[in-house]
Amino acid sequence: MKRTIQFALLSSTMLAGAATAQTTLTIESWRNDDLQIWQQTIIPAFEAAHPDIKVVFSPSAPAEYNAVLNSKLDAGSAGDLITCRPFDASLELFNKGSLADLTDLPAMANFSDVAKSAWQTDDGSATFCVPMASVIHGFIYNKTAFEELGLTPPKTVDEFYSVLDAIKADGNYIPMAMGTADQWEAATMAYQNIGPTYWKGEEGRRALIAGEQKLTEEGWVEPFRQLARWKDYLGDGFEAQTYPDSQNLFTLGRAAIYPAGSWEIGVFTPQIDGAFEMGAFAPPVAAEGDTCYISDHTDIALGLNAASPNAEAARTFLEWTGSPEFATLYANALPGFFSLNSTPVEMTDPLAQDFVSWRSSCEPTIRSTYQILSRGTPNLENETWNASANVIRGTETPEAAAERLQSGLASWYEPQK
């Protein structure tokens, strides 16, 4: 009874501003970068086809999103549509009953099992968010600088370091733009970027979850050894260099290589504004001809607030989110966010095409720490941030870092005990 009153009050507040017969849907999201694109491209396209539904995109800053969303869900004031983080953060919301079951949504047929895996229960019986996009890791480089120095993008690890040595010897560019101040860059853009090559992508990731491999094994320690070598190629004072610092160093043409996530494409292109040309290369392999592995990480999806008073309209929107029309719109408005829809999407951005082409030449995997392994305390993902930053700064050896992560994981995860 109390809840009904709450919802009645809540919906009345939300409807207050809207026109009479319209339903207003509010989307909770952490993508405040995309506010304009939602307001100017995506929402108008939907509203044109559904004049009876009005959509409001209401993002909060990424760092606060989880805390803000959970508080609002607990109190019953969250929006109708919830942007879903992959794996456990959303699974927890589903288990608590905050996210509705969307298994029976017709649009789910447009997605492969792999695409849906990040937003399913462990046994795969229920799916609770409509997959929107994945992001791919790799390296973006300054093509103009490479041509000037007579360098070609490296394919193997040895070539990678000789390219870095050449840039360093020349002295005009910082070889690689990355810092450890924000920590997550070290884990996401470095460890999870080059790591799959050493732990053999899905094979290693699944073996770790099954308890057949340990983080102290070669495939998991070697990426840390690589990171320890990166230190010499980063800019002065990289310890205090933040993520925006790294982005600016690269877009201002001061650094030659940027360890990247594909989402940077949309950020970099307008900032560079034609001052130089960009290219991309995949994480290097040990020897020419080896299988390459890339992190093609399922990153973002859209779910339904189980307490939404506008569930019907929200389902209409979700159905549209799962359509090829949305996929084309989204992937082109936000180059670097790659559609998870089974229907192939035409993309116009050449750099985005480069990234997505690795899907056919390399073995894709997702970030190793995201599924199941970050459920306990200590949290493996957060520990990996800390360990990767420590290893790059040289304050912890690769072996010690791996040892620490393994003992932390083994302290709560049964298969690893």
Partner 1 sequence: MSIARNQGTLTRSIAAHAALLTWTVIALFPVFVIVINSVKSRRVIFADPLALPTAETFDLVGYQTVLAQGDFLLYFTNSMIVTMASLFFVLLFGAMAAFALSEYRFRGNLLMGLYLALGIMIPIRLGTVAILQMMVATGLVNTRTALVLVYTAQGLPLAIFILSEFMRNVSSDLKNAGRIDGLSEYTIFFRLVLPLVRPAMATVAVFTLIPIWNDLWFPLILAPGESVKTITLGSQVFIGQFVTNWNAVLAALSLAIVPVLVLYLIFSRHLIRGITAGAVK
Partner 2 sequence: MAAGRPVRWHIAVFLAPAVLVYTTIMIIPLFGTLNLSLFTFDAAGQRVFAGLANFRTLFGDPRWSDAFWNALGNNAWFFLVHMLVQNPIGIALAALLSSPRLRMAAFYRTAIFIPTILSFVIVGFVWKLILSPIWGIAPDMLDAVGLKALFAPWLGKEEYALTTLALISVWQFVGIPMMLIYAAMLSIPDEVIEAAEMDGVTAWSQFWKIKLPLILPSIGIISILTFVGNFNAFDLIYVSQGALAGPNFATDILGTFLYRTFFGFQLQLGDPHMGATIATAMFGIILVGVSVYLFAIQTRLRRYQF
Question: Residue 32 or 95: which CB sits closer to partner 2?
Answer: 95
DSSP 410: H
Q: Given the rule CB under 8 A, which of 7-15, 129-137, 199-207, 377-385 is the region that contacts partner 1?
A: 7-15
d(Cα 274, Cα 272) in Å, to the nearest integer?
6
Sequence letter at residue 307: A
CA atoms within 13 A on the CB side of 200: 10
Contacts with partner 2 by CB under 8 A: the residue count is 46
**Joined tokens for residue 296:** 């093609």
Q: Which of residues 51-110 bind partner 1 (CB under 8 A)?
A: 58-62, 64, 68, 71-72, 74-77
d(Cα 201, Cα 366) in Å, to the nearest integer?
8
Question: Residue 50 or 254: which CB sits closer to partner 2?
Answer: 254
Picked from partner 2, partner 1, none, the partner binding residue 251 (CB below 5 to 8 A depending on kind) is partner 1
Question: Residue 101 or 363: which CB sits closer to partner 2?
Answer: 101
Q: Which of residues 48-67 bind partner 2 (CB under 8 A)?
A: 63, 66-67
**In the complex, minimum distance from the CB of residue 250 to partner 2, in angstroms, rounded to a whole number:** 12
Q: Which of 169, 165, 138 is nearest to 279 (CA)?
A: 138
Asked if 85 contacts 66 with a C-beta cutoff of 8 angstroms, the reply is yes
Question: Residue 30 or 191: which CB sits closer to partner 1?
Answer: 30
Q: Which of residues 340-359 bind partner 2 (CB under 8 A)?
A: none
Asked if 293 contacts 197 with a C-beta cutoff of 8 angstroms, the reply is yes
**In the complex, minimum distance from the CB of residue 416 to partner 2, in angstroms, rounded to a whole number:** 15
Picked from partner 1, partner 2, none, the partner binding residue 370 (CB below 5 to 8 A depending on kind) is partner 2
**In the complex, minimum distance from the CB of residue 77 to partner 1, in angstroms, rounded to a whole number:** 5
Among 152, 271, 291, 395, binds partner 1 (CB under 8 A): 271
255-261 vs 293-304, strand pairing mode: unpaired
Query: For residue 109, how far is the Cα from the chain centroid?
Result: 23
Among 83, 262, 298, 390, binds partner 2 (CB under 8 A): 390
Asked if 143 contacts 279 with a C-beta cutoff of 8 angstroms, the reply is yes
CB atoms within 10 A of CB 229: 14
Question: Residue 92 or 319: which CB sits closer to partner 1?
Answer: 92
* 263 contacts partner 2 (rule: CB under 8 A): no
Q: Which of residues 291-330 bind partner 2 (CB under 8 A)?
A: none
Give the alpha-carbon dihedral of 318, 323, 327, 328, to 10 degrees.
-140
Location of structure tokens 């993520």: 243
Give the alpha-carbon dihedral of 228, 242, 174, 223, to 10 degrees.
20
Picked from partner 2, partner 1, none, the partner binding residue 108 (CB below 5 to 8 A depending on kind) is none
Exposed, middle or buried: residue 137 (CB in 10 Å: 0-12, 13-18, 19+)? buried
Among 378, 397, 403, 410, binds partner 2 (CB under 8 A): 378
303: left (phi over 0), alpha (psi -120 to 50) or beta: beta
**In the complex, minimum distance from the CB of residue 279 to partner 2, in angstroms, rounded to a whole number:** 24
d(Cα 146, Cα 256) in Å, to the nearest integer?
7
**In the complex, minimum distance from the CB of residue 98 to partner 2, in angstroms, rounded to a whole number:** 13
Asked if 186 contacts 383 with a C-beta cutoff of 8 angstroms, the reply is no
149: left (phi over 0), alpha (psi -120 to 50) or beta: alpha
Q: Given the rule CB under 8 A, which of 20-28, 150-158, 305-313, 387-395 is the region that contacts partner 2?
A: 387-395
Residues contacting residue 40 through CB under 8 Å, at least 6 positions apart: none
**In the complex, minimum distance from the CB of residue 338 to partner 2, in angstroms, rounded to a whole number:** 22
Question: Residue 70 or 269: which CB sits closer to partner 2?
Answer: 70
Question: Residue 97 or 350: which CB sits closer to partner 2?
Answer: 97
Q: Which of residues 69-128 bind partner 2 (CB under 8 A)?
A: 70-71, 85, 87-89, 92, 95
Report the run of H or E that residue 140 belongs to, with start and end. strand 129-142
| Chain residues in the site for partner 2 (CB under 8 A) | 63, 66-67, 70-71, 85, 87-89, 92, 95, 179-184, 235-242, 245, 249, 369-370, 374-375, 377-382, 385-386, 389-390, 393, 395-396, 408, 411
| Chain residues in the site for partner 1 (CB under 8 A) | 2, 5-6, 9-10, 12-13, 17, 32-33, 35-36, 58-62, 64, 68, 71-72, 74-77, 243-244, 247-248, 251-252, 267, 271
